[in-house]
Amino acid sequence: MSYAHSVLQSGETIKAVGKLHWTVFLRGLIFAIVGLAFLLYGYNAQAVGRRDVASVLVIVGALLTLIGVALLAGAWFRRWITEISVTTHRVIYKTGFIRRHTVEMNMDKVETVDVDQSILGRMLGFGTIRVRGTGQGIESLRGISDPIGLRNAITAG
């Protein structure tokens, strides 16, 4: 059960759920692909007889691939533990697994919702959202998938 479902009050329903965009995986994918390319090139160099170059390429490739896998696992975990929910009464942002950090803002306290998207963000459908309220705000939520849809769910009241 998600955090938002566990804290719903009577008569409150979830209108929209936001999530981190798939681009959080890009850094890990790049490292893994470059590492695998080094590994393949190293094994090909070893087959040709260039053992001095091959061993260095295999070691570098293995390290880059391991770093890529670790980055991919970290991105998956971050995406899994981050929840952004818009209910009929409030906006809920939760992150963390063992040590939890939550921010909730009542809908009647929301003044503005800012959306920032780069050119790449507009093309791929991700951006940064800032929810500003009376006296406080929710920290910048970076890398959110479909930020315009989430903003519309918040401002629709």
Question: Residue 137: its pLDDT value, please?
Answer: 80
Domain residue limits at 37: 25-77
Question: Residue 78: its pLDDT value, please?
Answer: 95
Q: How many domains, the chain?
A: 2
Question: Is the same domain home to 7 and 57?
Answer: no
Under the banding of pLDDT at 50, 70 and 90, the label for residue 77 is very high
pLDDT reading at 68 higher than 70: yes
Which tokens belong to 18?
Answer: 């936001």
Measured from the Cβ of residue 52, the count of other Cβ atoms closer than 10 Å reads 9
Return the amino acid letter for 149: G
Note whether residue 46 is domain-resident. yes
Question: Is the same domain home to 150 and 137?
Answer: yes
Report d(CA 149, CA 16) in Å as an integer: 9
| pLDDT per residue as tens digits for the range 50-64 | 777 888 999 999 999
pLDDT reading at 157 higher than 70: no
Question: Is the same domain home to 66 and 30?
Answer: yes
Let me know: does 64 contact 31? Beta carbons within 8 Å: yes
Question: Residue 53: its pLDDT value, please?
Answer: 84
Report d(CA 141, CA 121) in Å as an integer: 14
Question: Is the same domain home to 47 and 12?
Answer: no
Q: Which among 16, 151, 8, 5 has a CA at the least distance from the CA of 86?
A: 16
pTM of the model as a whole: 0.83
Note whether residue 58 is domain-resident. yes
* Torsion, Cα of 21, 25, 26, 29 (10° steps): -150
| pLDDT per residue as tens digits for the range 82-96 | 999 999 999 999 999
| pLDDT per residue as tens digits for the range 92-151 | 999 999 999 998 888 888 889 999 999 999 999 999 999 998 877 888 889 999 999 999
Lowest mean pLDDT among 4-8, 35-39, 121-125: 4-8
Question: Is the same domain home to 64 and 94?
Answer: no
